[in-house]
Amino acid sequence: MSKTIPSVIPSSISPYLNEIAERLWSGHAAVMVGAGFSRNARPNGTSCSVFPDWHQLGDLFYEGAYGGTPDTKSKYLNVLKLADEMQAALGRPALDQALRDAIPDYEYEPSPLHVKLLDLPWTDVFTTNYDTLLERACTSITSQKYDVVVNKEDLVYSAKPRIIKLHGSFPSERPFIITEEDYRRYPKDFAPFVNTVQQALLENTLCLIGFSGDDPNFLQWIGWIRDNLGNQNSPKIYLIGVLNLSVAQVKLLEQRNIVLVDMSKCAGIDGDHYKGLEQFLEYLISRKAEDNRLEWPKVLSHLHPDLNKDKTDQIEELLPVWKEQRLSYPGWIIVPEDRRSSLWTFTQSWISFASSKDSFSKLIDLEFAFELNWRMEKCLCPILNQQIEFFEAVLGRYLPLGVMATSDKSLPLATKEISGRGLDRKEIRRMCICLLLSMMRFYREEGLLEKWKEADGKIESLREHLSSEQKASLYYERALYALFGLDMPELKNRLREWQVNESLPFMEAKKGALLAEIGQVNEAEQLLEQSLKNIRAKLNLKPITTDYSLVSQEAIVMLLLQYVQTSVAAGNGKWSETQEIRKAFSERWNVLKQYKCEPWNELKIFEGSLERPPVAKRNVTEKKEFDIGRVTRINHFAGWDNEALIAYSFLRFCEDAGIPFRIPSSTFGKKSAEGTLSRISKYSPYWAMATMVRIGDEKVVDHVFNRESLFKIETASVNSLVEGYLESLEKSVGDIRSGNRFYADNFGIILAKVVPEILSRLCCKCSLESKEMLINFLLKVYKSDHRGNYGGIRHLTERLLSAFSVRQRFDLIPILLDFPVLENLGPIEEREFVNPFQFINLERELIQTWVKPIIPDEKINILLEKASSDNSNARKWAIFTLVQLHNLGFLERRQTDKFTEALWCKLDDYGLPSQTDYYKFAFIDLPHPTNVDPISLLKKYIQRESFPIQKNRAEKSISITGGDVPLCREIVGASKYPQWSDADVIMIFDRLVEWWDADKDYLKKENTPSTFSSVADEFRGRFAKLVDVLEAFIAPNFNQDTENEKKETLRRLICELREHGLPALRLESASLHIYPDWKSDILDKIENGLASSIGETVIDSLRAVLVILEKNALYPDEQDLSNILNVLGQIVRWQKKTGLPSVLNVLTRIVKKYPSLFSNELERLVLVGLQKLAKDTIMGEDGMELHEGLAIRQEAAGLAYGLFMHYTRQSQTVPDAITEWQEICRSDNEFAEIRNQWIQEN
């Protein structure tokens, strides 16, 4: 159709039709439908009345006014006047009914002409018709939804496109505008309709169909428009149809800016109104096929290269197609997803087709590289590693050609070869510069910083040859390079040197987005508003036909502006404005959807792929078949990692659109950005690291810096990262000092929030020198007056100190004492800035022979002073430090006396020290005044304090505590002191029984998780503490002489604990001396428990073993004990993973505390197991889950060290299995937690 219709359109009207079509398909055309169009409807039968024309209506009104049909003597010219007269004679209801009777609305159905009309993308459809043909035709339209407006009040809530009934609508939406008085009052009574038509005329091309030259409706509306806009300012209006107009009518209409499009001039119309309008509509439809590029690229290229054909011939054949596709590209900033997929399908197989080793002639390799790179950028795919060598070779070959003088005889190609390709030096240079910019982007993304600098130097030397667009792209690239490097001063310098160019409003918008990302949201808002204004000004000058660049820019800049305005509103505390900001742009976005300019839709597509866990790419997958034991193995040959490609596409989408993931108080695509990290980190770690920081959330750090990734990084690389991150913080200290952590109002705050968390993870692989740099950084932060703007400090403090060896931590004590005593901390700071001595973790027996570092008296004196302070935070901090120093033997006698005085200067209601971070039982072992008995005071506390019996509480709501019961901890802590009478023990036991009997039914509550924990889980946690008290305090203090009632109650309690599913085997073991007949049953339970696949059961069995060892419960039955220990050895030998770390830990304790029990058989089993674990716990070994493997490896290293010390003390030869672990712990590339298990080495 599109090929035949233009040929029958005469040249006298084709320019008008082309103008209408161009405006229509660019979303700038409206149509007004008159009464004549209804005459094209289809009758429901053969006896239907016809739609009257104006003369027939005049006869009808004459008859109503004068009671008869007008004869030849009764001529009239004004139909509207006759309607007035009929109303005066018979009343308005009679006039309205006469119209309903004369116009056979429901005797007709909409014709295909009605459907074709409404299927076109008019901005609005106005009609003066009363009938409902247009409304009924809507039901056949699927391309768009029309809102029908039948009265002026509905206008405000309507959405385009609309069918607006200007003169009323059957059956009863009145008044039906028909009388002269109706028309006189219309501009006032129906001003909203008049204004709507006027606005449509100002913004769009208006087409009139179904009107004749003397149609009263037509004449009235033209008059109103001229009255309001003026004759000179009235835009052209197109009157389309088969127009039988006189010369005088034509001239009159032309004077009124009416352009006549007479379709009767087309061949084959022959005065047929239906055919004329059909020809008009078909022509408009045909122009859609010609001008519309929404389905780009339409020309398909070769899908795959042919390995049997010559490469040069294939590229020669391919290049014209690719070039045509590039030149016909409609200019989207982001190629819509469906078009992107199509382009990728016909590109991906060619990516690795050419290499640097191939020999090409006639500039083919340059053209191929240029076209391929262009397509990949549109596909949002970065340059791949296998391509970069080819691109570098091409650039090295042709870049000199593009910049050398024509007369230079050393050129690599002859002039005839250049001209033979249709290229000149300027075009060669343009291609080379485009490639160079893309390669700079690749170097930045991959962290190839030296290569980036080299490329930057090359392009700087070409500055005079750069176009305005290329200069702006270079500014953007340099700014991103600084941002990826977390160099805020450099980024700000790059943004300052970025020269304003309002002719490139979209690049200005990108600059604004970068300003917003670093916190300069007010400047960003101004820049974005101006950019949007400039883009829209350009749009007003250029209709949208085959170039969607401006509407694409507008859609994205609107998104950026909304994003920034939301941030500004939130920063000003005006949260209510954020919804209004979104509404302001929604209508325009809906309009831009027709051009596939939908950034929100692109985001949703990415969200669907990136917000789910990635599907791992496997070389081999196994499928379990229906038949028992049958498994099918499927081998997957090398191909694309689609998960990574999606992630790369999202990052490129955001970068090409200029969208930051986070600006102050607002985020965009944060979950999707987070989803990219785990997908690209193994391919492009530098890009992932930059993205991770830009997201601005310390929780995402684990996607990049987890144990798996750190295992693969050499210590030297980790040291470089530590140094780089510390440098970025140092450079941003001004922003950190001036920023607001709550609003994260500048990028320095983001660095201060995220980088410490990163550093806390790097601790486990960095050198001692780097760790010393980190401890100095921590000291500086603790001392700073803006410490509250930092995050991740607690993790850094804890992980850093655990990364130091025992000896190194010991030597650090003087430095740790330089950390200030922090007093007036807010709730967040109090959680972050903890006393580093909480993580020093030193045992006095280990350091007894070491030379103590010197601690100046003034440091101790400061602590002693703070320990007596009325500030509770200062007192807690100082007391905790002094207790550690006392326990490690650093305090002299006089200092100990002062410490005692300070510790006991503030007491609680029980006479024990208050405002400390210690449990009350800790004061038994600490210095105390001679007149104070801490044990008696602790007993008083235990007697008065209540267990948390829920049933007795007036308030029935249940507090979720995670099962913490401080009173139980105090009793267990005090259990090692023997001064407890039988009465004391029975009193506590009775209260425990009361607690159990009152609350045990809560264990039966439905185990439905809530926000924090379920009720059943909460009470399992609480009663686990009850079991602790029974095992550590009650059972050891019961014996055969304890009254039977209490022993039976304990027996009942143990049985009920077991029935309720609580692990109580350790309690049963602790009670063997009370119930010796349980021995055989308990041993069986222990063996069965150790064989369990449930971790909780294994751990309970191990604790039972330790209880037996500590209580000597089985002596002199050493064979039974040996059998149990051999079970532990078997678990290590065969690497039973459930509870294996705990088994290794128990064996380490046995070697240390009970070396005589380490039999030859147990030794053999353990050594074989350790040798296997040295290999099987290496990262990446099949069958060993990462965190599980590391936990096993750490405990295995600890056991190996324990055995090493055992053999050394016994002067025995150290077995190979142990020396192998010694070498492991000496490796710089091993995690610090594992290295530090070998204490002697450090």
DSSP secondary structure of 14-46: HHHHHHHHHHHHTT-EEEEE-HHHHTTSEESST
Between 1130 and 299, residue with greater pLDDT = 1130
Q: Which helix (H) or strand (E) holds 125?
A: strand 125-127
**309 closest CA partner among 317, 300, 301:** 317
Q: Are 833 and 867 in contact (CB under 8 A)?
A: no
Q: How far apart are CA 140 and CA 110, in angstroms?
A: 10
pLDDT bucket at 409, cuts 50 / 70 / 90: very low
Quote the tokens at residue 51: 């739609």
Specify the pLDDT at position 900. Answer: 97
Average pLDDT, stretch 1190-1196?
95
What token pair was written down for 1055?
Answer: 């049985």
pLDDT per residue over 246-290, tens digit each?
Answer: 888 888 888 888 899 999 999 888 889 999 999 999 999 888 755
Q: How confident is the model at residue 1115 (pLDDT cuts 50, 70, 90)?
A: low
pLDDT tens-digit profile of 967-986?
Answer: 999 999 999 887 789 999 99
160, with CB counted inside 10 A (0-12, 13-18, 19+), is: middle
Helix (H, G, I), strand (E, B) or coil at 1132: helix
Q: What is the pLDDT of residue 637?
A: 46
pLDDT at 298: 78
Residue 547 to residues 120, 286, 293, 553, 836, Cα–Cα distance (Å): 20, 18, 8, 11, 63
| Residue 162, SS3 per DSSP | strand
Give 1007's pLDDT tier (boundaries 50, 70, 90): low
Helices of type H across 161-246? 180-189, 191-203, 216-229
DSSP 953: -
pLDDT value at residue 402: 66
From residue 241, give the alpha-carbon distance in Å to each of 14, 209, 261, 267, 275.
14, 6, 7, 14, 10
Identify the band that residue 897 occupies on the pLDDT scale cut at 50, 70 and 90: very high
Task: Tell me if 679 sits within 8 A of 477, measured CB to CB.
Answer: no
Question: Which helix (H) or strand (E) covers residue 666, if one does?
Answer: strand 666-667
What is the mean predicted confidence (pLDDT) over 1075-1097? 94
| Least reliable range by pLDDT among 366-370, 649-653, 1078-1082, 1238-1242 | 1238-1242
Q: Determine the Cα–Cα distance for residues 414 and 428; give it in Å rounded to an integer.
A: 14
pLDDT at 3: 40
pLDDT-derived band at 1, boundaries 50, 70, 90: very low
Nearest C-alpha neighbor of 586 from the set 544, 623, 555, 628: 555
Q: Domain 6-43+109-289's class?
A: alpha beta
Q: Which of 93-97, 751-755, 1012-1016 has the lowest mean pLDDT?
A: 1012-1016
pLDDT band (50, 70, 90) for residue 909 = very high
Task: Give the per-residue SS3 of 1054-1114.
Answer: HHHHHHCCCCCHHHHHHCCCCCHHHHHHHHHHHHHHHCCCCHHHHHHHHHHHHHHHHHCCC
Cis peptide before 175 (omega within 30 of 0): yes
- Which among 831, 749, 735 has a CA at the least distance from the CA of 789? 749
Which is more confidently placed, 566 or 1011?
Answer: 566
Alpha-carbon torsion (353, 358, 360, 365), positive or negative: positive
Residue position matching structure tokens 């979209």: 506
Q: Is residue 627 predicted with pLDDT exceeding 80?
A: no
CA–CA gap between residue 21 and residue 283 (Å, rounded): 8
Per-residue pLDDT, averaged over 320-346, amounts to: 94
Rounded Cα gap, residues 697 and 662, in angstroms: 9
Nearest to 588 by CA among 567, 562, 558, 566: 558
Residue the block writes with tokens 């104070």: 932
Say if residues 476 and 494 touch (Cβ distance below 8 Å).
no
What is the pLDDT, as a whole number, of residue 949? 93
Q: How far apart are CA 226 and CA 846, in angstroms?
A: 101
Establish whether the linkage from the previous residue to 412 is cis, with ω within 30° of 0: no
CB count within 10 Å of CB 827 equals: 7
Cα(596)–Cα(552) distance, rounded to whole angstroms?
8
Cis bond before residue 336 (omega within 30° of 0): no
**Strand-pair partners of 147:** 162
Half-sphere exposure of 451 (CA within 13 A, CB side): 16
- Is the pLDDT confidence value at 2 over 50? no
Q: Which of 169, 259, 152, 272 is nearest to 207 (CA)?
A: 259
Residue 523 CB neighbour total at 10 angstroms: 15
Q: Residue 257 and residue 234: Cα distance in Å, rounded?
A: 7
CA atoms of 476 and 496, how far apart (whole Å)? 12
Q: What is the pLDDT of residues 489-542, one digit of tens each?
A: 999 999 999 999 999 999 999 999 999 999 999 999 999 999 999 999 998 777
Per-residue pLDDT tens digits for 690-713: 999 999 999 999 999 999 999 989
Rounded to the nearest integer, the mean pLDDT of the chain is 90
pLDDT-above-70 percentage for the chain: 93
Task: Tell me, rounded to whole angstroms, the distance of Cα 1110 from its chain centroid.
Answer: 53
Rg (CA), the chain: 43
Decide which of 1110 and 73 is more confident. 1110
pLDDT tens per residue, range 26-52: 788 999 999 999 999 999 988 889 999
Backbone angles phi, psi at 821, to 5 degrees: -80, 110
> Could you tell me the maximum CA-CA distance found in the chain, to the nearest angstrom?
142
Q: Rounded to whole angstroms, what are the CA distances from 714 to 723, 724, 1231? A: 15, 16, 11
Task: Please tell me the distance from the alpha carbon of residue 407 to that of residue 409, in angstroms, as a whole number.
Answer: 6
Q: What is the reported pLDDT for 586?
A: 85
Q: Please report which confidence band the pLDDT of residue 1241 belongs to, taking 50, 70 and 90 as the band edges.
A: low
All structural domains of the chain with their residue ranges = 6-43+109-289, 52-102, 302-466, 707-803, 1123-1242
Residue 538, classed as helix, strand or coil, is: helix
Question: How distant is the alpha carbon of residue 1196 from its chain centre?
Answer: 39
Residues 209-235: pLDDT tens digits? 998 877 787 778 887 777 776 666 667
Question: What is the total residue count of the chain?
Answer: 1242
Token pair 């807690």 is at which residue?
A: 876
Which residues touch 388 (CB under 8 Å, ≥6 apart)?
A: 439, 442
Task: Tell me the pTM.
Answer: 0.80
Q: How far apart are CA 794 and CA 756, in angstroms?
A: 9
Task: Find where tokens 């027939």 sit.
Answer: 56
Q: Is the pLDDT of residue 1119 over 90?
A: no
Q: CA–CA distance from 918 to each of 701, 817, 981 (Å)? A: 33, 20, 25
d(CA 662, CA 684): 21
932: Cβ–Cβ under 8 A, 6 or more apart, which residues?
904, 911
Pairing of strands 666-667, 662-663: antiparallel
What would the pLDDT profile of 452-504 be if each residue is shown by its tens digit? 999 999 999 999 999 999 999 999 999 999 999 999 999 999 999 999 999 99
Q: Residue type at 17? A: L
* 388 has a pLDDT exceeding 50: yes
Cis geometry, peptide bond prior to residue 161 (ω within 30 degrees of 0): yes
Yes or no: say if 938 and 970 are a contact pair by the CB < 8 Å rule: yes
d(CA 1176, CA 807): 30
Q: Which structure tokens are listed for 886?
A: 């006392």
Pairwise pLDDT comparison (606 vs 156), residue with the higher score: 606
* C-beta atoms surrounding 654 within 10 Å: 25
Q: Distances from the Cα of 1161 to the Cαs of 108, 437, 1136, in angstroms?
A: 102, 69, 18
Amino acid sitting at position 497: E
